[in-house]
Structure 1
Amino acid sequence: MFSAQGPSLRELAMQALSSVERGYDLLAPKFDHTPFRTPDGILDATADALGSLGPFGEGLDVCCGTGAGMRVLRPLCQGRITGVDFSAGMLAQARKAHPDAEWVRADVRDLPFDEAFDLAVSFGALGHFLPAERPALFSGVYRALRPGGLFAFPIGAPQPITSGWYWALLGFDLAMRARNAVWRPPFVMYYRTCPLHAVRDDLTAAGFTVTTVPLTLLGRREDGSPRYRLVLARRPGTSD
């Protein structure tokens, strides 16, 4: 799963026994050489689906990490593109890789923006928030968008119970819950706490109008349903 340039088992253990922020600070220099970095295929499928909805003005990557989401924002946005994350280590790597973008260190549960962006995206971040924390996250994104602005992120279909991935993800979540029950600070990273129906409900409660589109470039499951959907949460209204 890891290239020769990726973290060692010892480094991963140190990350897992840290807080989320400290863990990602430690992992940042080698993050792009791990499977945790969003694959280019998902980024490209997202950009393709958003292409017909743009162009956009200013763009924001929420929980930007090392800046992989710039691959989506740069061709779609005509104005500035910005990444926000609370890991100083991840932002340092992002600045090196994308010096033309703006980078802001902040807790995304309290975003420091007010009607500043036309498009917001996020990749692989929802598992870092407990369900009770999602309303603050989504409300902050809502405030950060101008009227008519769009918040978009891919979400995978649930794995069937017959799939090995179902049991692998279940086992990971159970291991993380056990770790957090006996070790402080907690490391919040779960794969099964953000099903589409719950995410849709939280986005709607924050004021968004929510639709989804299949990411057809990523294929379909055996039953014909898409492997991934793109959630499109729009802030009602029209920009001046």
Structure 2
Amino acid sequence: MFSSHGPSLRELAIQALSSVEHGYDLLAPKFDHTPFRTPDGILDATADALRPLGPFDHGLDVCCGTGAGLGVLEPLCQGRVTGIDFSAGMLAQAREAHPDAHRVRADARALPFADAFDLAVTFGALGHFLPAERPALFSGVYRALRPGGLFAFPIGAPQPLTSGWYWALLGFDVAMRIRNAVWRPPFVMYYRTCPLGAVRDDLAAAGFTVTTVPLKALGQRGDGSPRYRLVLARKTSA
């Protein structure tokens, strides 16, 4: 499915009926051949927006998966780059793609770091956390950063009601909620649970100073607003 190198429909069904961790262990070898991987255009636009804000020393990719974000961090950071994920399968793929990066297997809701990084990023992971779990995630990133450190991630504008994508994403989220209501273990993967306003409020509650910048390279919506923004959450200096 998706390409000749991607997972089959049967493989996706098995993954969808697994836990998040085991599902990604199963999907990991073929993940980069699915639409679930963050597109290179978003990665490149993020790197371009972060470059003038450096230089950075140590970098952290939160929920690194197969390592797409590590590829963003490596040219931006002068020190060690670390990826954290709770899927051993995804970390194995990240090791192959980025052998010089440090990898840690842990739950992002309980990050095992304190004052260790100057830049943290995450790509495509927020939908794997329920809104009630975001405070723990963001507080952990805040602790992991040094004073003045930056947490950055792209976030898309909401789709208009007239867009086919609006209804496709709504349908996916409804199907996932039904799946989780009738099947255990749950598989948390939602596309419409992290709007910018709610994310901004949770970041501020964790202690961050939050701004956004448009990712102009990714285009505009019909009303002239950007299709994507880069969220920049700064840990206050000591």
**TM-score, scaled to structure 1:** 0.98
Q: Aligned partners of 1:175 and 1:15: how far apart in 2?
A: 15
What is the Cα-based RMSD across aligned positions, in Å?
Answer: 0.7
3-state SS of 1:113 partner: coil
Q: Structure 2 matches for 1:13-32, cutoff 5 A? A: 13-32=13-32
Q: CA deviation at 1:108?
A: 0.3
Counterpart amino acid of residue 106 in structure 1: A
Q: Aligned partners of 1:225 and 1:219: how far apart in 2?
A: 9
Q: Aligned partners of 2:19 and 2:208: how far apart in 1?
A: 31
Q: Aligned partners of 1:6 and 1:104: how far apart in 2?
A: 26
Counterpart amino acid of residue 80 in structure 1: R
Tell me what 2:98 maps to: 98
Q: CA deviation at 1:130?
A: 0.2
Unaligned runs of 5+ in 1: none
Q: CA deviation at 1:55?
A: 1.1
Identity rate of aligned residues, in percent? 86
Q: CA deviation at 1:14?
A: 0.3
Q: Aligned partners of 2:222 and 2:27: how far apart in 1?
A: 36
Deviation readout 1:119-162 (Å, 9 max, x if unpaired): 00000000000000000000000000000000000000000000
Tell me what 2:152 maps to: 152
Tell me what 1:35 maps to: 35
Q: CA deviation at 1:189?
A: 0.3
Q: CA deviation at 1:71?
A: 1.9
Tell me what 1:204 maps to: 204
Q: CA deviation at 1:2?
A: 1.1
Q: Aligned partners of 1:123 and 1:189: how far apart in 2?
A: 14
3-state SS of 1:52 partner: helix
The answer to whether 1:6 aligns with 2:6 is yes
Counterpart amino acid of residue 92 in structure 1: A
Q: Aligned partners of 1:54 and 1:216: how far apart in 2?
A: 19
Q: Aligned partners of 1:45 and 1:77: how far apart in 2?
A: 17
Q: Aligned partners of 2:43 and 2:178: how far apart in 1?
A: 32
3-state SS of 1:65 partner: coil
Structure 1 segments, 4+ long, off by >4 Å, are: none
Q: Aligned partners of 1:76 and 1:54: how far apart in 2?
A: 7
The answer to whether 1:113 aligns with 2:94 is no
3-state SS of 2:68 partner: coil
Q: Aligned partners of 1:78 and 1:151: how far apart in 2?
A: 17
Q: Aligned partners of 1:162 and 1:97: how far apart in 2?
A: 39
3-state SS of 1:212 partner: strand
Unaligned runs of 5+ in 2: none
